[in-house]
Chain A
Amino acid sequence: MFLRKIPLLIAAVSVGVLILAKVFLYPDCYSFDAHDEANHAFPGLHVAQTAIRAGELPTINYYNNFGVPLLGDALTYPFALQAATYYFLDSHLAMTVNRFLIAVATVIAAFGFFRIYLGTLPAIISAVLISFNPVSFWYPVHQYQMAALFFFASFYLLNKFNIHRSATCFFSLFALFCALILSVSINHVVLLVPFLLAWSLSRNGFRVDQISIAPLVAFIGALIFSYPQTFDFAQNFLTSGRASEGVYDSVLTTFRELFFGLIIPPGEWIAYNYGAQLQVTTYLSMSVMLAVLSGAWLIRKKTAWKQTSLFCCGVLPTVIAIVLYMSPELRLAIPLVKSVDITRVFWFSIPFCYVYAGYFIAYARFGWLPRGVAVFLLFVSLATLAVIQISPETSEVSALHSIILLLVVAGALTLLLTWQSEQPKGYRANLGYSIGGVLLIGSLILTPIPVMVRVLGLNTGSCGGTQYSDNLAASRFTPYSLLSLMEKGSRLATEVHTHKGHDLRVATHEILGSAARGIVVDRKFGKLLEEKRLVTVDQIPYGYYFSRPWQTDALSWLGIRYLLVNRSTDLELEDKGWTRLGEAENLSLYENPGKPTPVYLTHHHSSAPDFVRDYSFFGNHIRINLPEISSASTLVVTILNKTGFEAEIDGRTTEIVTQQNGFIGLHVQTGDKVVEIWHHPYSWRQVAAGMGISILMCGLYGWFLSRRRAENEKHKNLQSTH
C-alpha cells in the first residue's frame, strides 16, 4: 500500500523542492514574503505568542498603530495550524518550513480530491498541475497558504462522508472546518461555503436531507467553535477603512484582451506594468482549456452527480467570475464583492475545471480520443497559433506558448494519422496512440512553466523580488543598528512608505509603532490625524505614515518619542530641538526633546502632558506605576479605546473615559499608585463555552446520523430478508 503511494510522494516533494529552489540556490535566502509576512504575520505572531505563553487569549497588539485588534487580524491568525512552527523556529525559518510542508500536503490532498473522479495517473498529473493554479500559487502568504490544502481536504472528507455516512466522518469534517476557520483568511472561508453546499447538493441529487446539509451544520459548528476570532474580525472589518473601498480593479476588459489573458500570462504582453496578481491569475493556457472542453465532452456519459457537481462548482462560478471581472461597473455596485478580488473565485472553481482536464488525460494516455475531439484540438490549436503569430500584442511573447500549441497539434495529428493508416489494433497503432497521448499530456505539463518562472522569480538572478523568497534582512526591522538606540516601550514613527513595514516590525523589539497598514485600520482616528496634517495617506486599502511638517507638541500628545526620517540631516527637526541619535542606510533616527512616553497625566492647571516613565506592556495587559499625584488628574494611555478594555486602580475597578482622540483615559486621584488595564473582550470561559457548544452540537448531529444510518441498514436488511 505504501509503495503505491511513493510516486505521489515523489511528485509532492518535487513541488515542495521547486518552490524552495531559490532557498537552495542562493545564500542567506529564505522563503517568506517581505510585505504581508515580515510586516504583519511575523510581528503579530510574536506578540500573540507572548500573550499565549502568559496564559492569555491574544486579543490586541499594543505595538501597532495605537493598539490594533489581534484576534480578528486576518494577517496574523495566531491559532492557525501554520502558526505552530513559530513556537520552535525563528519567523523566517518557520515560514520556509511551512512553505515546504504545505506544498507537499497540498499536492497529496489534491490527489485525494481528484481521486473522487479520476484514476491514479490522471489524479497525480492533475494534482501536480493544480499546485500551480495561478491564483492560488500567487498567494503563498500566511493567511492564504492553507486555503487550497483545506479546500482539497474538505472535498476528500465530504466524499468519504457521503460514502460512509458515519459520525466519524462528520466529526472529522467538523474538526477540519475548525482548523480551516482558524488558519485561512475569512474571505476564502466564506467563498468556500457555496462550493461545499453546491457540491454536497449535487452529490445527493439536489435532495435537501441530513447528508446534503451536513457540511453546513459542520461549518456552523466550526464558526461557533472559533467565534471570538471570526466575530472580532467581522466587527473590526466593518469599522475599518477597507470595508467601503473597491480595492481591486480589472485590467482585461475586452474579449480580445481576455482571450490573450487566458492563453498567455498578461504580464508578458500587456502594454504596461501591472505589478500584482493580474500578471498571471487569468492564465489558463489554450492547452488546458482544450483539455477541459474535451474532458467535458468525454464525460457526458459519466454518473449524473459527477457532471452536475463539476458544472455547478467548476464551469458556473468560473463564468460568473469572468463576467464580473470584465464588468467593473457591475462588480463595484455589489456590496462586499467590490472589496474582494473576483479572480479569487478561480481558487476553488479551477480545480473542478481541472477534473475535466483529468478526464482528458485519462483518455489521451491510451490515445482513446474520438476523432471529432482530435480534429477539434487540431483546428483550435492551429488557429490559436496563427492568432499568436499575427497579433501585434503577442509579437514578443516567449516561444514556449507556441511550442505548447505545437505539441497539441502534433499529438492530435499523430492520433488522426494513426487512425487513418492503421487498423484500430496492433503494435504500430498502439505506439501511434501512445505517442499522440504523450504529446498531448506533455503540452499540459509544460503549461505551468510561465507561472512558475514569474511567480517564483526564477529569472531574477537573485534571492528576492517575489513573495516566495527573500534575504534574511528583509524579515526584520532595518536599519537594525538603530534599534539599540531606542528604549523599549517607547513609540516610534517612520517617515517611510508603510509597505516597508518599519512601524510594524518594531513590535518584535517591544517598541511601539505609529503608522497604519493592514486590514483592520481605524478610519476615524486616521481622519483625525489627516485633519491635523500629521500623516500622509499612502495606499489603498487605507494606510498612512507620519510625515512633515513636524509638529512636536502634537507628536508628544500621541506619545511619539522617536522619528525615523528618510534623510541624513533633518534641519526642520533639529531647529525644533530634536536630537539626532544615529544614521544608517540613509535613514536618521531623531528623539523628541520632551522624551514623551505613551502614558501621561494631564492636569487641569497645566496644558503640558506629564509623562509617566514607569509602565509596561505585556500581552493584553498594561501596568502603570503612577508618580506622586498632587491633584486630581486624567491618566491618558495612547491606545485607542475599543470594546473589551477593563481598568483597575489599586485593585478598584475604574471606568474608562474615552478621550477626544479616542485614547483610553482614567480619572486618577492623589494617592493612587498602580493602574492596571486589560483588554478582555472574551474570557477563557466564554471561549471554552463556544467550543463546548459546537462540539456538543456536532456530536449530537453525528449521533443522529449514526442512528439514521443504523435504521436504514436495519430497514434494508429487513427488505432483503423479505
Chain B
Amino acid sequence: MRQRENRNIFIFLLLWSSLVIMLFLHTSGRVDIPLLHFPQAKGNLMMIEEGYKHYNLVGLREKVYAIPQGSSFIHPRRIEKMKEIGIFVAHSAQEVKRMIDAETENIEPKNIEPKLIEEGYKHYNLVGLREKVYAVPQGKPFIHTRRIEEMKKDGIFVAHSAQEAKRMIDAETENIEPKLILKEENFQGHNLYSFGRLIYAVPAMDPALGPYWEQVVGENLKEAKRFIMQKETLVK
C-alpha cells in the first residue's frame, strides 16, 4: 500500500514539475504555448449620462449603450438579450439619444463604420458610408462626422455609387488646368518644377520651355534628380 502511495506521489510530482517547467519555458519566450494565452478584457465602462428619458447612457470602447433604468449592463456579445431588454447600441451619444427618441434602433441615417471601397483611383480613395460614397483625395483624412459642405470644401466628392463618384473624379481631373510650381531651385544647374503629376527639370539659365524640357522628366523629385545626374555623367 505504501509503495503504491509513494508511486502515486512520484507521478504527481512528475506531472507538477512538468507543469512548472512548461510555465517557465512559456514565460521565457522560448516556447510559445497557445493554450496559455488567456484573453484579457479591455476598455472601461463609463457613465456618459444618467437618466436620459429613463435610460442610462454607458460608454464602452467605441460604443454607447442606452440601458433602461433598473436594468443592468448586459455583456455586449449577448445581442438577443440586449434587444429583449430594450438596450440600444450606437456609436455616439447623439445617435443613441435619437434611438431613444424614436424608440427604435432602426433610425436613419444611422452611424456605421466607413468602409474603403477602392484605394487610389486617380489619387482618390473611395469610401462607402451608409448609402453614400465619398471620393477622398489621398493624404486627406476622412472624418465622417463632418458636414457635407465642409467635406466638399476639402475636395471630397459625395456620390450615391462608386460609378458616380468615379465620374465626378474623371470630370474633375479633366477640367483641372495644371499649374507650374517651382519645387527646387538650381539643382546641378536645373530648376525643378511640378506640372500636373510630373516633375520637370529646366536649366536654370534658360527658364523658357525648350527641347530640354521634354527630356528630363520624373514622376517625383527624386526621380527627376536621378535623371539629371545620369545626363550629367553621360555628358562628361
Contact A7 B35 (CB under 8 A): no
> Which stretch from B41-49, B90-98, B119-127, B193-201 is at the chain A interface?
B41-49
Task: List 11 additional contacts besides A271-B43, A395-B77; criterion CB under 8 Å.
Answer: A7-B9, A7-B10, A11-B16, A273-B40, A273-B42, A274-B41, A397-B39, A398-B38, A400-B35, A449-B36, A458-B26
Cross-interface CB contact of B35 among A265, A270, A403, A438, cutoff 8 Å: A403
Query: Is the contact region of chain A dominated by helix, strand, or loop, or is it mixed?
Result: helix
A596-625 toward B: CB 8 Å interface, digit per residue (1/0)? 000000000000000000000000000000
Answer whether residue A385 sits at the interface, using C-beta atoms and an 8 A cutoff: no
Cross-interface CB contact of A454 among B12, B38, B43, cutoff 8 Å: B38
Answer whether residue B182 sits at the interface, using C-beta atoms and an 8 A cutoff: no
The residues of B with any CB-CB pair to A shorter than 8 Å are 5, 8-13, 15-17, 19-20, 23-24, 26-29, 35-45, 60, 72-73, 75-79
A377-401 toward B: CB 8 Å interface, digit per residue (1/0)? 0000000000000001101111110
A-B pairs with lowest CB-CB distance, top 8: A392-B77, A272-B45, A458-B27, A393-B75, A7-B9, A400-B35, A270-B41, A398-B38
A73-105 toward B: CB 8 Å interface, digit per residue (1/0)? 000000000000000000000000000000000
Question: Cα distance A445–B8 when bound, in Å?
Answer: 14
Contact A265 B38 (CB under 8 A): yes
Question: Cα distance A261–B5 when bound, in Å?
Answer: 35
Contact B16 A128 (CB under 8 A): yes
**In the complex, which residue of chain A has the Cβ closest to the Cβ of B19?**
A445
Contact B15 A445 (CB under 8 A): yes
Cross-interface CB contact of A14 among B17, B42, B45, B78, cutoff 8 Å: B17
A252-296 toward B: CB 8 Å interface, digit per residue (1/0)? 011000000000010111111110000000000000000000000
The residues of A with any CB-CB pair to B shorter than 8 Å are 7, 10-11, 14, 17-18, 21-22, 24-25, 119-121, 124-125, 128, 253-254, 265, 267-274, 365, 392-393, 395-400, 403, 438, 441-442, 445-446, 449-450, 452-454, 458-459, 461
Interface pairs (6), CB distance under 8 Å: A21-B24, A265-B38, A273-B43, A393-B75, A400-B38, A453-B36
> Residues of A contacting B16 with CB < 8 Å?
11, 14, 128, 445
**In the complex, which residue of chain A has the Cβ closest to the Cβ of B43?**
A272
Question: Cα distance A452–B33 when bound, in Å?
Answer: 14
Cross-interface CB contact of B72 among A254, A270, A399, cutoff 8 Å: A254
> Residues of B contacting A268 with CB < 8 Å?
38-41
Contact A17 B43 (CB under 8 A): no
Question: Cα distance A609–B16 when bound, in Å?
Answer: 67
Contact B5 A119 (CB under 8 A): yes
Contact A125 B29 (CB under 8 A): no
Cross-interface CB contact of A272 among B28, B41, B79, cutoff 8 Å: B41
Question: Cα distance A269–B35 when bound, in Å?
Answer: 16
Question: Cα distance A400–B36 when bound, in Å?
Answer: 8
**In the complex, which residue of chain B has the Cβ closest to the Cβ of A393?**
B75
Question: Cα distance A449–B43 when bound, in Å?
Answer: 25
Question: Cα distance A511–B24 when bound, in Å?
Answer: 41
Cross-interface CB contact of A124 among B12, B23, B60, B75, cutoff 8 Å: B12
